[in-house]
Amino acid sequence: MALLEVENLGIGFPTGGRIVEVVRGVSFKIEAGESVGLVGESGSGKSQTALAIMRLLREPGRITRGAVRFDGTDLTQADEATMRRLRGGAVSIVFQDALSGLNPVFPVGVQLMDVIAAHRDVTREQARERAVAMLNLVGIRNAEERLGHFPHQFSGGMRQRVLIAMAVACEPKLLIADEPTTALDVTVQAQIVALLRDLRERLGLSLLFITHNLDLMGEICSRAVVLYGGLMMEDSPVETLFTAPSHPYSRALLDCVPRLEDEPGMLRPIEGAAFTLATAEAGCPFAPRCVLADARCGREHPPETGQHPHRIACWWSGS
């Protein structure tokens, strides 16, 4: 049994008397110890999917269909007490913006110890020891002294490390990282990715890494789920995705990254405007920007073909 099974997940927001789905039936799974990338642009539904797994969707958003099975329990049906026990315990999440994930008026040590005390039966002293150990683990020097510092006394990269320390303090089985490096400089990005990779090996975590940066995802994940317009386009081992992407969208997404290896000025943007729900049609959401699209693509959404670990939703995938 997989550690996490997302099955036909739908997420909707009530808009003008009806419910508009931003995630429209997405399925994927994560095995224990596996590291999976959830890749897509703004509006693809990747962050909403992460929030739905944690049952942290902002009102009035809600899960409209499907199941999220974690370790056999369907989280969409779990009560709030169960969810509170799980969050920060067996499942943790790290957000993009570390500054809003920390309370500015408390020292980070207090916040870190709170997480530990919420999930473990520990004395204050034990919580403190564990907090120091966690800061050490994520590479923060002078951990003892840093416990007393406030979030604003840390740099962006260091704040992200603190959040990661909080997320892994109670030895989660699954860590969800939602664009954890997007707000950071390239040099710091590389450090945070190295840290996540290291933690994954040392703690045996499963990881769901959410990003729009395919290269970064390739540094840490073994499998990638590519989303567009709230639907899965391709679910593929990373090596296969990088060497032979099957879906035209995956291919376009890989091609459009400006790279040092290319001739200067050689840019291959995805033409057309990014997907918006306002223009969503019944067909494949990528059809308006796709070089292969024909009338059928615009009319009907393609069925999923292939078997785990490589599934594709494209009318052209067989050709």
| Beta carbon nearer to another protein, 47 or 111 | 47
Min dist. Cβ of residue 179 to another protein (A): 11
Residue 149, classified by CB atoms within 10 Å of its CB into exposed (0-12), middle (13-18) or buried (19+), is middle
CA 221 to chain centre: 11
- Least distance to another protein, CB of residue 258, Å: 5
State the burial class of residue 12 (Cβ atoms within 10 Å of its Cβ: 0-12, 13-18, 19+): buried
307 forms part of the interface with another protein (CB under 8 A): no
Place of tokens 């994520």: 138
Asked if residue 144 binds another protein (CB under 8 A), the reply is no
Q: Which stretch binds another protein (CB under 8 A): 9-17, 109-117, 162-170, 244-252?
A: 244-252
Q: Figure out which of the listed residues 67, 110, 190, 277 binds another protein, where binding follows CB under 8 A.
A: 190
Q: Is 105 in the site for another protein (CB under 8 A)?
A: no
Give 244's Cβ-side CA count (13 Å radius). Answer: 4
The residue among 3, 39, 25, 11 whose CA lies nearest residue 235 is 39
129, 135 contact by CB (below 8 A): no
Tracing tokens 């929030």 back to the chain, one arrives at 51
Out of 1, 81, 105, 266, the residue judged to bind another protein by CB under 8 A: 266
User: Rule CB under 8 A: is residue 49 a binding residue for another protein?
Assistant: no
Segment lying near another protein (by CB under 8 A), choices 26-34, 100-108, 161-169, 212-220: 212-220
38 is an interface residue for another protein by CB under 8 A:
no
Choices 3-11, 53-61, 118-126, 245-253; region in contact with another protein by CB under 8 A: 245-253
Residue 157 host element (H or E)? helix 156-168
Cα-to-chain-centroid distance, residue 275: 19
Query: DSSP secondary-structure letter at 141?
Result: S
Does the footprint of another protein cover residue 294 (CB under 8 A)? no
Task: Return the H-helix or E-strand segment holding 62.
Answer: strand 62-70
Contact between residue 108 and residue 146 where contact means Cβ atoms under 8 Å apart: yes
Residue choice 242, 281, 300, 309 for contact with another protein (CB under 8 A):
242
3-state helix, strand, coil in the chain (%, to 5): 35, 25, 40
- The residue (of 171 and 262) whose beta carbon lies closer to another protein is 262
Select the residue interacting with another protein from 218, 237, 288, 306 (CB under 8 A): 218
In the complex with another protein, the residue whose CB is nearer, 81 or 295, is 295
Asked if 212 touches another protein (CB under 8 A), the answer is yes
The residue from 270, 293, 312, 314 that contacts another protein (CB under 8 A) is 270
Which residues form the interface with another protein (CB under 8 A)? 41-42, 156, 185-190, 212-216, 218-219, 241-243, 245, 248, 251-262, 264-271, 273-274, 276, 291-292
